[in-house]
A = this chain, B = another copy of it.
């Protein structure tokens, strides 16, 4: 069913049908009504593909996440998809992986799809190869990075001050009388690097010595958190608080602390980051730094659409994280 078919039935030209479909002015009411009627009758649905070929727009947004199964990415994907759809766009979601070449591959795919804009979710996309790929092949469409930024004219960044946030976590722990604070992280992401910086600065503020800074590397899983925590606490019995780079690691940590028979938060206090539902499920419930991921995602989509519609926006905006206190502190 094409506009030609409709045109034939209606006894008008295809252009007229097109005009009716696109609500153009200057059509006789009669004609418009008749065409509309037939459109409905035949349940005509325009072909976005053909339409896009001439309007040079797909109304498609490419959304890249490392792994949608990360709780915060999931929430983001939900919020963003809903928002974009309301604005008339569809979302192509790609799990781009952690590997730089995988990411570039994903970028190339959305490029081939001629998406109207791109959302890069997560700090992981802030690396050299991705940057090069974007400069070379994606400089003609708007890109918004949620939790990241690249200094290019078509790239926007929405960031969260995780640095300040973690510093506040350290403050909170000191205020609770904790003096031996460790940090357990999946450290390979730029976002984690920020958090680590915040941790170190936080400690320094409280006159910590360089040698007392304890940063443990692990992977981003329940098991990773468990193992790292267990090893840490067996070796360094004076530790009385641990901050984790992500909730899921913290949850593993809580389980380890419990298994060691240590009291939370009395013997060991714990703080996670992301404020996911995991924190409400685990017992004791987890104090977590809410890094406003969904706010960020919404801001990001908003900026993207605004740019697409010709509105201006600052290249870079910053959101403020917030500690949600629960039983582990």
Could you list which residues of chain A lie within 8 angstroms of chain B, going by C-beta atoms?
43, 45-50, 52-53, 58, 60, 67-69, 74-75, 77-78, 81-82, 85, 90-95, 108-109, 111-114, 136-137, 222, 251, 255, 258, 277-278, 280-283
> Are A46 and B112 also in contact (CB < 8 A) when A222-B280, A278-B281 are?
yes
Residues of the B chain whose Cβ atoms lie less than 8 Å from the Cβ of A136: 43
Query: How many copies of this chain does the complex contain?
Result: 2
Q: Smallest CB–CB gap between A106 and chain B, Å?
A: 8
Interface of A, secondary structure class, is helix
Interface contact B68-A137, CB-CB below 8 Å:
no
Interface contact B58-A69, CB-CB below 8 Å:
no
23 contacts across the A-B interface (CB closer than 8 A) = A43-B137, A45-B111, A45-B137, A46-B112, A47-B114, A48-B113, A48-B114, A49-B114, A50-B53, A60-B92, A68-B68, A68-B81, A69-B78, A90-B109, A91-B94, A93-B93, A222-B277, A222-B280, A251-B281, A255-B283, A277-B278, A282-B282, A282-B283
Interface contact B81-A281, CB-CB below 8 Å:
no
Interface contact B45-A49, CB-CB below 8 Å:
no
